[in-house]
Amino acid sequence: MKSALQKTDPAVYKIIQKEEKRQQETLSMIPSENWFSPSVREAVGSVFSHKYAEGNIGKRYYEGCVHVDELETLAIERAKKVFSLPKNWTANVQALSGSNANLAVYLALLQPGDTILAMYLPDGGHLSHGWSFEPDVEKRDKEVQSGSLVYEGGSRKINISAMLYNPIQYKTSKKTHQFDYKAIAEIAEKYQPKLIITGGTAYPRIINHKKIKAIAKKIHAYYLADIAHEAGLIAGGAFPSPVGIADVVTMTTHKTLKSGRGAIILAHEDIIHKINLAILPGLQGGPHNHNIAGICVGLGEALSPAFKKYAAQIIKNTGDLALELQKQSFKLVTNGTDKHFVLMNLSEEPILGRPFARVLALAGITANYSTMPWDSRPPRNPSALRLGTPWLTTRGMKKNEIKKIAKWIREAMTIASQWADMSFEGMEEEAKQSKDIKRISQEVKDLCKKFLVA
């Protein structure tokens, strides 16, 4: 029997079917992607998408919100349990994304022009933490060569957070590529930010939240911990939590937490009251109730014993991935990982991040190119590659599969090395025609068929 969509809009139905086929038959190793359960997807596609519900629980600007209130209350209560919130903490589940969540915190706690101190984006930070850059290549090279652990920003303001506030960014140690807490303390003392931020997209190590909080407390600043990537690991008890240490914790819900699209903000109830006002009327109109439904279902799943095993397996799989890649003679930033992804330093390989990501995609392995510490190459054409295991773990893959994947990655690099002197477009065309790349793609597809997801 044909579905409703198949009957009414076969064009869109066909695109969706092709995308599902792609996801089932390839290996997604982008750390920020995951596969949601049928229950989460059902909730996101529910009738809650029809309803307007501007406002907060019991204080809506629309009638007919009794069940929206019930849903949002349940989501908040589950968030409290999943993340073991202190009694005087609560949550906001209305932010549409992680970037919106961070901006809401800024609007709630800062004034335009205030200084914020966050992690340097090429070292693993995030756009929404105040990124600006210098488009001049010579100036960018000079910045890297200076060895300075502080970045005062570039002439091009990329994100609204850099346009509204004064971002100062701390870098990782040039030797270890990890946090230098003493240097961060000195930078904070010098620039006196009103807010210190940790977290980002490509920092593979544990962050000492207590040390950062001590730095913030000394200068009377707020501390925001952005755990967008680690949320599911923390929920499953496999990773240290900043809850009760940081003043505010933000996260997306679609990565390791695999709870559909959206965001959660955790903080003391007094701060959440300010954040609620920053969300509405500050940033958004009506919340996306269907996304909140998905988040609520996902949080319910995160409370299960199975999720704890899942989070622990992600950590184990990523450790195995790091080891197997090193056996294949790949270099890793920080020489390993504590999280759900590894950052590969390809600066000494024949193919760098962006072109190698494309070669791997054609071989059936989806990854993403990334910046890395102390590299002057621009974000659009960097030296590193980021590989994660959340989706592999959701599929049930373990050490034996990780070994195969690492071998395929080295094999793809060896094949691609013959195209090292070509343009990106030329290399891509060669990879599309390569029998060896097609063979790897078929082998990947054969493996994926053994680990289909519902």
Q: Is the pLDDT of residue 137 over 80?
A: no
| Catalytic-labelled residue, pool 54, 411, 428, 443 | 54
Please enumerate in sequence order all residues whose Cβ is within 8 A of that of 66, keeping only pairs 6 or more positions apart, or say none: none
Active site residue 52: yes
The whole-chain average pLDDT of the chain stands at 96
Q: Is the pLDDT of residue 400 over 80?
A: yes
Average pLDDT over residues 38-51: 98
How do beta strands 331-332 and 341-345 pair?
antiparallel
- 279: DSSP letter: I
Same fold, 47-302 and 305-449: no
Average pLDDT over residues 82-105: 98
Q: Any idea where the domains of the chain sit in the sequence?
A: 47-302, 305-449
User: Is the pTM above the cut of 0.85?
Assistant: yes
List the beta bridge partners of residue 368: 386
Average pLDDT over residues 361-366: 98
The two structure tokens encoding residue 290: 């269907």
Could you tell me which of 269, 228, 232, 235 has the C-alpha nearest to residue 81? 235
| Catalytic-labelled residue, pool 26, 252, 256, 318 | 252
Q: Is the pLDDT of residue 225 over 80?
A: yes
Active site residue 180: no
Percent residues over pLDDT 70 in the chain: 100
Is 3.50.50.60 the CATH classification of the domain at 47-302? no
Res. 48 pLDDT band, cuts 50 70 90: very high
Q: Is the pLDDT of residue 134 over 90?
A: no
What's residue 378's pLDDT? 80
Q: What CATH number matches the domain at 305-449, 3.90.1150.10, 3.40.120.10, 1.20.1250.20, 3.30.360.10?
A: 3.90.1150.10
Res. 139 pLDDT band, cuts 50 70 90: confident
Active site residue 13: no
Q: Is the pLDDT of residue 7 over 80?
A: yes
| Catalytic-labelled residue, pool 13, 51, 52, 274 | 52
Res. 136 pLDDT band, cuts 50 70 90: confident
Active site residue 255: yes
Active site residue 226: yes
d(CA 122, CA 124): 5
Average pLDDT over residues 162-169: 97
d(CA 370, CA 386): 6
Res. 278 pLDDT band, cuts 50 70 90: very high
| Catalytic-labelled residue, pool 41, 157, 261, 308 | 261
- The enclosing H or E element of 74 equals helix 66-82
Average pLDDT over residues 389-414: 98
Task: Go through 265-299 and write b for each residue having 16 or more CB atoms within 10 A of its CB, e for each that does not.
Answer: bbbbeebbebbbebbbeebbebbbbbbbbbbbbbb
What's residue 12's pLDDT? 98
Active site residue 62: no
| Catalytic-labelled residue, pool 72, 123, 226, 320 | 226
